[in-house]
Chains A and B, each alone.
Chain A
Amino acid sequence: AQSVTQPDIHITVSEGASLELRCNYSYGATPYLFWYVQSPGQGLQLLLKYFSGDTLVQGIKGFEAEFKRSQSSFNLRKPSVHWSDAAEYFCAVGGGATNKLIFGTGTLLAVQP
């Protein structure tokens, strides 16, 4: 079955600290992987995506993610978190002609001053 798991429901980090949000997926074919961010009451904004090629992808706002096929993971990282990064982060997997996305349950990030 196709699925996305985000093990951490809620994470709190201090401003300036590094961040890693975990994402594991189960997908029958070559996955297209995405990270989206959602602020309260807002739609989703794409942070970064992986389709093929270099397994370390750079995104907006200083985020990066690494695709590890052997671990079926696509963890999101940022070296230094800013207070404005507080939001909910969703990992998603998709592929094929329909491009339907399967989302993880999200990780809510809180940033302490």
Chain B
Amino acid sequence: GAVVSQHPSWVICKSGTSVKIECRSLDFQATTMFWYRQFPKQSLMLMATSNEGSKATYEQGVEKDKFLINHASLTLSTLTVTSAHPEDSSFYICSARPPGAGELFFGEGSRLTVL
């Protein structure tokens, strides 16, 4: 199947700093990628849809200025958590759908811990 890769797998940062998470589609081009957030022992919640060459579409309740998304190429989307606080600690997962495929493929996830 298609491969979606995230980096870093885990990151620890101090409160107030910004953290960037990368999501790459390794063997296909993705005009759209999706960013999900998963709290411990909970389901995945869609945060935003990343659109190549244009602005991301955010779900209701997600702060655009807090979670900056950039989809600068057909294989890379980045999520930047700005001025991170402990409540931003979570597991962030990206996904993408290869052309012609019906399902989404997910990255390995990135665990963010804000101290």
**Interface of A with B (CB < 8 Å)?**
32, 34, 36, 41-46, 49, 51, 90, 94, 98-106, 108
Q: Which of B11-19, B63-71, B78-86, B97-105 contacts A (4 or more CB under 8 A)?
A: B97-105
Residues from chain A with Cβ under 8 Å of B1 in the complex: 46
Residues from chain B with Cβ under 8 Å of A46 in the complex: 1, 103-105
- Min Cβ gap A91→B in Å is 10
Number of residues on chain B facing chain A (CB within 8 A): 25
Q: Once bound together, how far apart are the Cα atoms of A102 and B45, in whole Å?
A: 8
Interface residues of B in 96-115 (CB under 8 A from A): 97, 102-109, 111
A43 touches B43 (CB 8 A): no
Among B4, B91, B93, B104, contact of A99 (Cβ-Cβ < 8 Å) = B104
Residues from chain A with Cβ under 8 Å of B34 in the complex: 99-101
Using known A-B contacts A43-B93, A46-B1, A90-B44, determine if residue A101 contacts B111 with beta carbons closer than 8 Å.
Answer: no
Among B42, B91, B108, contact of A105 (Cβ-Cβ < 8 Å) = B42
A51 touches B102 (CB 8 A): yes
Most buried by A among B4, B104, B108: B104
A44 touches B102 (CB 8 A): no
A34 touches B103 (CB 8 A): yes
B102 touches A32 (CB 8 A): yes
Using known A-B contacts A99-B97, A100-B34, determine if residue A43 contacts B106 with beta carbons closer than 8 Å.
Answer: yes
